[in-house]
Amino acid sequence: MEPIVSVTGGKILGRTSAGVSTFLGVPYAAAPVGPARFELPTRVPDWPGVRDALSYGPTCAQSPYPPPIHALIGSDGIPGDEYLNVNVWTPDPGGSGLPVMVWIHGGAFVRGSNARAIYDGAAFARDGIVMVSINYRLGISGFAAVANAPLNRGLHDQLFALQWVQENIESFGGDPNNVTVFGESAGGMSVAMLLASSRSRGLLHRAIMQSGNGSAVATIDDAGKLADQLAEKLAIKPTAADFGRLGPERLRSAQDMIALDLMTDPDPARWGSSIITNGLGIMSLFPVVDGDIVEGPAADVLAAHPDRSVPLIAGCTTDEFRFFTVPTGVAAAITTDTLPYMLSRYGLSPALAATYSAHRPGATAADLFAAMVTDHAFRSDTLRLAQVNATANPTYAYEFAWPSGIEGLGACHVLEIPFVFDALASAHPLTGPNPPQPLADQIHSAWASFAKNGNPGWARFQPDTQLVQIFDAPESTVVSNPRGDDLAALRRSLR
């Protein structure tokens, strides 16, 4: 007999296989369509009878990834209005007191969804955890600073989903007082925002930030400039009423055009310095400092409010930025002559290349560029957040160093995810055909252990020792302040 549970809105029917019960596409808020697309999330309406929760739900409007990225990780796009939905995997819907993990997907705040094979939560449920994956509003719908609309609607959705977890997770056997929130890329940035926010108190008890940072925030003025340009492209007034009259396809088209404009003309005078600097030329629509959910960069906020910290794992991959340069062909265009220009686009001093080159004999200009931007966009801020959090709560740092079997990618962005979820069979286009299962066993069990008892199994990160777990195959190690000279030079150059 298939499981039926009661949640906000009514009863849902799931499916049980191999000891894991799965409930997919469960709406946690009312459908944000029309004018409601630019309003705060509201309670999902009740439905009659028992609703099937047997297939993934709709996703927020978005374009496919460019072909080279699509070939590695695929794209998302399930049509429908009820895209504020969650998926739940549980080992025992009739149980109680099980630890809970809530996954926030990445996608630069304009792409992604919870409907991906590499986000399948069955392995966590197999290991005694109730796992939830959430969708949230993206792009214009979630993050455009539209007049007469609340800011950071996508983050409001995440908070609303976490409140849904508090109210409903016991129906799946979970403990609402033991919730670990984890996410990667834009999801990792979201984790940092939620960690530092007073609005999340009581909604999360541990956090894992993968390949994110806490400084990807825009000022209201700069975000408003971008919204004005969106409205100009759409030939509308930059108001919630006018944006709310548009369907998802027109919104998707406009955000694609803005992203292209930003890449081809990264002029701070046009967009605002916070969009260019904090969006790293990749993100156009992302969290805004609103004085409510987002008071500022996460590390700064946590430093001022250490009482908001919780036990934390924070880390990144060794070669994050290769994901953005190698498959797209950008790496092939970076030479000794073009490197200074490319670095200046990211606010980095060309002189910094000498330090990185000295530590990487034989590295190409493209190798140096990827290493410097990886540290700038991910590693530096991740470790700063770890340093601040470690003053008040147990904190653990990691680096994923195993290189993909796909030539040139190295230990790139996204690569650790199928290891975390123990879902290597779904990730061969990214990992290559023979990823090491023992490494997945190690990482997955560390995340599960942290969710259960707050200890992933390696030494804590402390501001003085800065111990970092380096995940690699055939052997993982703990290193104090890896490549610290590079990071120190980078930080000096940015002062």
Q: Tell me, yes or no, whether 452 and 335 share the same domain.
A: yes
Query: Among all chains, which residue has been given the structure tokens 């590499």?
Result: 118
> What is the C-alpha to C-alpha distance for residues 72 and 74, in angstroms, rounded to an integer?
6
Per-residue pLDDT band at 277 (split at 50, 70, 90): confident
Nearest CA to 112 among 69, 77, 145?
A: 77
What is the identity of the amino acid at 382? T
**191 within some domain:** no
Q: Mean of the pLDDT values across residues 154-166?
A: 98
**Mean pLDDT in the chain?**
96
Q: Which two tokens stand for residue 24?
A: 């997919």
Cβ-in-10-Å burial (0-12, 13-18, 19+) of 281 comes to middle
To the query of whether residue 476 is one of the catalytic residues in this protein, the response is no
- Considering the domain architecture, whether residues 335 and 206 belong to the same structural domain is answered as no
- 467 within some domain: yes
Q: How many domains does the chain have?
A: 2
- Specify whether the backbone of 481 is left (phi greater than 0), alpha (psi in -120 to 50) or beta: left
In the three-class reduction of DSSP (H, G, I as helix; E, B as strand; rest coil), residue 85 is classed as strand
301 within domain boundaries: no
Range(s) of the domain holding residue 414: 311-494
CB 226 within 8 A of CB 238: no
Catalytic one among 185, 197, 284, 476?
Answer: 185
- Per-residue pLDDT tens digits for 359-401: 999 999 999 999 999 999 999 999 999 999 999 999 999 999 9
Residue 285 lies in a domain: no
Catalytic member of 105, 156, 413, 444: 413
Q: Minimal CA–CA distance to 302: which of 389, 190, 227?
A: 389
Task: Report the C-alpha gap between 18 and 172 in whole angstroms.
Answer: 17
Q: Report if residue 147 sits inside a domain.
A: no
Given this model, what pLDDT does residue 494 score?
Answer: 85
Respond yes or no: is residue 413 known to be catalytic: yes
Query: How many other β-carbons are positioned within 10 Å of the β-carbon of residue 79?
Result: 9
pTM above 0.85, yes or no: yes
Domain at 34, CATH number: 3.40.50.1820
Catalytic residue among 170, 320, 399, 416: 320
pLDDT tens digits for 286-301? Answer: 999 999 999 999 999 9
* CA–CA separation, 103 and 115 (whole Å): 12
